[in-house]
Amino acid sequence: MTIKKVMVIGAGQMGGGIAQVCAEAGFDVYLNDIKEESYAKGLAVITKNLTRNVEKGRMTETEKQDVLGRITKSLQLEDAKDVDMVIEAAVENMTIKQSIFKQLDEFAPVHTILASNTSSLSITEIAAATKRPEKVIGMHFMNPVPVMKLVEIIRGLGTADEVYTAVEAMTEKLSKVPVEVNDFPGFVANRVLMPMINEAVYTLYEGVATKEAIDEVMKLGMNQPMGPLQLADFIGLDTCLYIMETLHEGFGDSKYRPCPLLRKYVKAGRLGKKTGRGFYEYS
Ligand code: CAA
């Protein structure tokens, strides 16, 4: 399986980052979004990141232009007709993901691998919307994508070995480290990370300490680069809540119940950095 042309679906924080690292690694990339403005915003972030690389002497201006030249705008899923691989990074919603995969299954050639960057939803269930479950796989990148080395590679129930191998090789080409994981709610990353974040929200909710104190304990005591409440703001509190709900529902275990304070913030529209306010305020 030779992967040359990739389509990334969703030009947001994750999709934009994935498109950037793919283009930097020499792949031709279609960056797809339903909205022209979202595409433009995504491309602007990529351009800013590449410009910083040039300023820091990590890349020449010519290389930057080459990378940008490998990214093509796409506003329709039909463009999947000539790609070898699709990486979907749309919203975390099973109905939407299944609808996208069903359409991709129609438009993409038979050899095309369909990957999802879902952070906790079942790859097996997404694959069930297609007639090619053996070519469906999870490729979970971490935020910020250009910086974080890990890609969790998730095997769905029907994922073929040669598809796993091709995706593992591609991940290495992106200068990332693939780690193999099976398909269970939250995989490994969010099964471990989110209960920690949720517990940090509980310690705030119960008045054990201030938000600053909780983050300071985890930063200075456990060498975490940022505290769990600040990290939750960066991930998005709606995403954190959604993942906790997926764990809670998927395992039916009350230890995964989302903290009421997390729910309250999401209801108030305090979603973190992206809305200017979560546990902290951002200008
Ligand atoms: N895009 C590209 N590059 C970025 C960036 C971004 N959004 N943010 C920071 N960087 C780069 C900076 O340019 C800098 O590079 P150089 O040192 O080479 O110049 C480097 O990252 C370090 O940045 P800073 O010095 O400004 O800041 P920092 O030391 O605080 O590091 C960080 C930033 C790497 C993001 C660090 O804070 C960190 O590791 N945070 C935790 C990240 C994390 O846990 N991510 C996983 C989230 S969970 C997830 O993604 C999965 C999910 O499903 C929810």
Query: pLDDT tens for residues 41-64?
Result: 999 999 999 999 999 999 999 999
- Residue 176, pLDDT > 90, answer yes
- Residue 1, pLDDT > 80, answer no
Tracing tokens 């974040």 back to the chain, one arrives at 197
235 lines ligand 1 (CB under 6 A): yes
- Inter-axis angle of helices 189-205 and 211-222, to 10 degrees? 140
* Three-class DSSP labels, 208-258: CCCHHHHHHHHHHHHCCCCCHHHHHHHHCHHHHHHHHHHHHHHHCCHHHCC
Q: How many CA atoms lie within 13 Å of 254's alpha carbon, on the beta-carbon side?
A: 0
What's the chain's average pLDDT? 97
Q: How confident is the model at residue 264 (pLDDT cuts 50, 70, 90)?
A: very high
pLDDT at 49: 97
- Residue 12, pLDDT > 80, answer yes
Question: Ligand 1 pocket: which of 147, 153, 231, 237 to mutate (most atoms <8 Å of CB)?
Answer: 147
Catalytic choice (49, 122, 140, 198): 140
Q: How confident is the model at residue 186 (pLDDT cuts 50, 70, 90)?
A: very high
pLDDT at 217: 98
Q: How confident is the model at residue 2 (pLDDT cuts 50, 70, 90)?
A: confident
**What mean pLDDT comes out for the span 158-175?**
97
Q: How far is CA 254 from CA 246, 247, 257, in A?
A: 12, 10, 5
**What mean pLDDT comes out for the span 97-125?**
97
**What mean pLDDT comes out for the span 117-135?**
97
Residues 6+ apart with CB under 8 A from 169: none
Residues 6+ apart with CB under 8 A from 131: 105
Among 94, 133, 122, smallest CA distance to 190 is for 122
What is the atom index within ligand 1 of the atom nearest the CA of 14? 50
Answer yes or no: are the C-beta atoms of 116 and 10 closer than 8 Å: no
Answer yes or no: are the C-beta atoms of 30 and 36 closer than 8 Å: no
Among 120, 182, 185, 121, smallest CA distance to 153 is for 182
Q: Is 140 marked active-site?
A: yes
Q: What is the largest CA-CA distance in the chain?
A: 55
159 lines ligand 1 (CB under 6 A): no
153: three-class secondary structure by DSSP: strand
pLDDT at 82: 96
Q: How confident is the model at residue 277 (pLDDT cuts 50, 70, 90)?
A: very high
Tell me the CA–centroid distance for residue 70 and ligand 1, in Å: 24
**CA separation for the pair 233, 240 (Å, rounded):** 9
Q: Is 152 marked active-site?
A: yes
**CA separation for the pair 16, 12 (Å, rounded):** 6
What share of the chain in percent tops pLDDT 70?
Answer: 100
pLDDT at 57: 97
For ligand 1, atom 5: residue with the closest CA: 144
Say how many Å lie between the first and final Cα of the chain, rounded: 46
**What mean pLDDT comes out for the span 106-112?**
98
pLDDT at 50: 98
Note the pLDDT tens digit of each residue in 208-252: 999 999 999 999 999 999 999 999 999 999 999 999 999 999 999
12 lines ligand 1 (CB under 6 A): no
**What mean pLDDT comes out for the span 22-40?**
98
Q: Is 119 marked active-site?
A: yes
**What mean pLDDT comes out for the span 16-37?**
98
146 lines ligand 1 (CB under 6 A): yes
For the entire predicted model, the pTM comes to 0.95
